[in-house]
Structure 1
């Protein structure tokens, strides 16, 4: 019997853990390719492992609409990219800008704290932006992997068709070679047979022949 959506979702979360921080029961797990392998990562680890893919302040994702370089600020410690408008003027002017994770050793993306009253998890706008950013990065990762797999499959198909055509051409040449050799061998065998019959008649005449001279 098939499980409900809630049961499937709960089972996938409780049955797996984040491949980076090893959290056994994260709020949500994202499926994406990490270090060449298909992995499940929590929201915090997705964001932490993809610096430069989003602004760590407003959480806009830089995938296909990255702002111009003159509107961006680069962290001096990591590949993180921030909107210039999201960076304090003093920090950027001094060329010592540090992104939030690098400026605060205790910084954590998607820090969710259950409500003390009912132990429920509340997602505010700030956390929702982080969740959407991580989901967007994970979705792009899966799409890129699927596109690459499709591209590699098309290449393999083309290679197989070329190999098939080459094999057919080799087989055709081989059959032609066999036919040519078979025709030549047949002619040689016939000539030898005639020669042997003529030689036998001239060298060994019939004993009953009256024209035989002793």
Structure 2
């Protein structure tokens, strides 16, 4: 038996809701990347937005290892992948396979009937498998996002170190150019020295250029 998440008061406090279906009182919210941002999605929307990550009949999660081609059925209308052993004989004998979600316009994952008297829902193996599948997908999505974030961070660090080294080289070249320019200016304008030659026979001061 699961207790429904209590709805937070609306006066000055944001209500947690599913980022897809906008439900303000889902029984479970999973945090995972959605459209490039970390979002809270209900169990049904996690499964609905990841159709190729699990079998829609037994709810086994594939992660990075989907069933081989000879042991699976691909839905004609969506990326959903179903185990060959999970598909009924009638569906497998038809010319094109359509998954449960696409074959029924009223289909929804994690369909529950809440008990409003005590704010709970009755669980069963079918719902439990869906809940575990959604939690596994959310966990894997967070892990993949963390790996990608670390990868991008390493790239940014390398770019920053390269830019720092390049800036240091530019400053060194600029300093050398300034030193050379000061040296050239100093040699072009030599200082003038006035010497007192009062003891000279001519009795005149002489101006000598310093050499």
> TM bucket by the smaller chain?
0.7 to 0.9
Report the CA distance between 1:99 and its aligned residue.
0.6
**Inter-partner Cα distance in structure 1 for 2:136 and 2:100:** 20
- Secondary structure at the counterpart of residue 107 of structure 1: coil
Aligned pairs, number: 193
Task: Judge conservation of contact 2:113–2:121 (CA < 8 Å) in 1.
Answer: yes
Question: Which of 129-138 and 111-120 deviates more?
Answer: 111-120
Q: What is the CA–CA distance in structure 2 between the aligned matches of 1:10 and 1:150, rounded to whole Å?
A: 35
2:86 corresponding residue in structure 1: 86
TM-score normalised by length of structure 1: 0.80
Aligned to 1:28: 28
Which runs of 5 or more structure 1 residues have no equivalent in the other structure?
A: 1-5, 198-205, 210-214
Residues 88 and 170 (structure 1 numbering): CA distance in 2 closer, same or farther, change over 3 Å? same
Match of 1:102 in 2: 102
Indicate if the aligned counterparts of 2:20 and 2:45 stay in contact, CA closer than 8 A.
Answer: yes
CA distance in 2, matches of 1:150, 1:39: 20
- Aligned equivalents of 2:78, 2:127: Cα separation in 1: 23
Higher helix share: 1
Q: 1:182 to 1:123 in 2, by over 3 A?
A: same
What TM-score, normalized by structure 2, do the two folds share? Answer: 0.81
Contiguous gaps of at least 5 residues in structure 2: 9-13, 195-200, 205-211
The equivalent residue for 1:141 is 141
- Structure having the larger proportion of residues in strand: 2
Tell me, what secondary structure is at the counterpart of 2:150? helix
Change in Cα spacing, 1:152 to 1:117, as seen in structure 2 (3 Å) is closer
State the Cα distance separating 1:114 from its structure 2 match. Answer: 2.9
Structure 1 vs Structure 2 CA RMSD: 2.8
Q: In the alignment, what sits opposite 1:202?
A: none
Matches within 5 A, 1:33-182: 33-115=33-115, 120-182=120-182
Q: Which has the larger radius of gyration?
A: 1
